[in-house]
Chain A
């Protein structure tokens, strides 16, 4: 069956700084939207749909429309943590296919680093709920929720710290080729801005057993924007379109007797691949939310790159590096581990996926034609979402 090619990424921009004191999140969003429109060859007034993850100082989508000075015919304020942008891309696909809009903008701005937000090691605020009243007394940091997944994975399948470390090593390899990632690590005062070995990962301090510091993403400022357009509009844009050919959405949460090593991706992945009519072994570029090594590991399994429990052996030998010749190439921008993580990384998965399929990555895979962007929002091991989007070269 021929793929449906009704919507495409036509404009992209990643805000270059990861430490941007004195800049507001709304500034980051607007600067990125303007640059993404320039990249597409579209103008401000062409935007007729806003997708907003309720980031930025002004609050959710309604305020963004007012701030931008636009009156969109579609306003989508889906907020599902780090996977918000995969969900929004899925919604933009179907809204465009339904004829509700032609030029959709997704944007992100955050000043997490400058504001010293303790994303991984701080507490959770907000009102008491049926869930927080059962968890807050135990001091489970965000990282601890992910660490408990890694602990169980190692117990159940015999995966090792060395194998998980390979994910950090491949990602850093890509980051060192990306000048913005190198600047990010420098500005955020990483101990060593260089290639790393598995032993370096194992020698880094443990933040929450069994997760080491070099298995954890950075906390940066940053943001970006993405323009998704209909096929008619895409044909008139400056750059080749990057088609959205399949998408899936899912949720998962703690259940009595449930399997913590299986993520929402096990539901969203097959839906997305099915809609696209492609299989994981055809994927050149795997943009998978690397909040932590374990997130990538579990999602590689759940998306079908290898069977459940076998990711350790799958990543051994360095296949995830862009120049391994094996593939899939993982997070070729340097990922959240080593390039950019202001809190909701999902937009960067789509941006780098699009760069690869245009031939613009700093770790370019020759002839890359298919990419998957998989966002994981919330807490792996607890309540979380999975959003999978399949991208295809023109």
Chain B
């Protein structure tokens, strides 16, 4: 089972996001003002486009596109030392937010991940800690 580092609390901005992960929801915020750029992510207390504090939480459908990625071959952090090569990616969710994550479930991350690839979120249980971590798996094409 995965041994990723857990988010740590108290941290008021990100707590609703991680409570969502516990319920299998990928949450993001939207600004309720008449705002040019209403999608807010990473979680915040204000809209970075207009400064408003009138934000609501929404649930993403969990599908998106790989914007870019790397495969990490060397990491001295506990939890990653023994993992072998693993991916780190920015995923553009269809609702318009970009999140850092990992693309999992491929045979070889050095060859089987590509920019533009369609991916879907899943919540990866961890060996320790209360929070499953949202990661992405390529969507099988028919």
Residues of chain A at the chain B interface (Cβ within 8 Å)? 118, 121-123, 127-131, 133-141, 143-144, 147-149, 151-152, 155, 205-211, 254-258, 260, 381
Contacts and interface: CB of A to CB of B under 8 A. Distances in A.
Given A152-B67, A256-B97, A140 B7 contact: no
Contact of B74 (A121, A130, A151, A155): A121
A258 B70 contact: no
B76 A139 contact: no
A131 B48 CA distance: 14
A208 B88 CA distance: 10
- Candidate in A118, A137, A139, A149 with the most chain B CB atoms within 10 angstroms: A137
B58 to A, nearest CB: 14
Contact of A130 (B37, B42, B92, B115): B42
A148 B8 contact: no
Contacts of A206: 71, 73
A231 B54 CA distance: 52
Contacts of A134: 7, 14, 17, 42-43, 99-100
B98 interface: yes
A147 B70 contact: yes
A258 B98 contact: yes
B80 to A, nearest CB: 4
B72 interface: yes
A178 to B, nearest CB: 28
Contact of B7 (A127, A136, A155, A254): A136
B67 A137 contact: no
Nearest to B129: A137
Contacts of B71: 206, 208-209
A148 B133 contact: no
Contacts of B13: 130, 133
A210 B111 CA distance: 11
Dominant SS among interface residues on chain A: loop
Contact of A151 (B4, B68, B100): B68
- Candidate in A135, A210, A258, A381 with the most chain B CB atoms within 10 angstroms: A135
A139 B96 contact: no
Nearest to A136: B5
A144 B87 CA distance: 9
B68 A133 contact: no
Contacts of B89: 148
Interface string B52-95: 00000000000000011111111111011001001011101000
B22 interface: no
B74 A148 contact: no
B75 A256 contact: no
B96 A256 contact: yes
Given A122-B77, A130-B13, A151 B7 contact: no
Nearest to B97: A256
A369 to B, nearest CB: 39
- Candidate in A136, A149, A381 with the most chain B CB atoms within 10 angstroms: A136
Given A137-B4, A138-B102, A139-B4, A152 B80 contact: no
B100 A140 contact: yes
A302 B29 CA distance: 32
Contacts of A257: 92, 96, 98
23 contacts: A121-B76, A123-B76, A130-B14, A133-B17, A137-B7, A139-B83, A139-B102, A140-B72, A141-B75, A143-B70, A144-B72, A148-B69, A155-B115, A207-B74, A254-B90, A254-B98, A255-B98, A256-B37, A256-B41, A256-B92, A257-B96, A258-B98, A260-B68
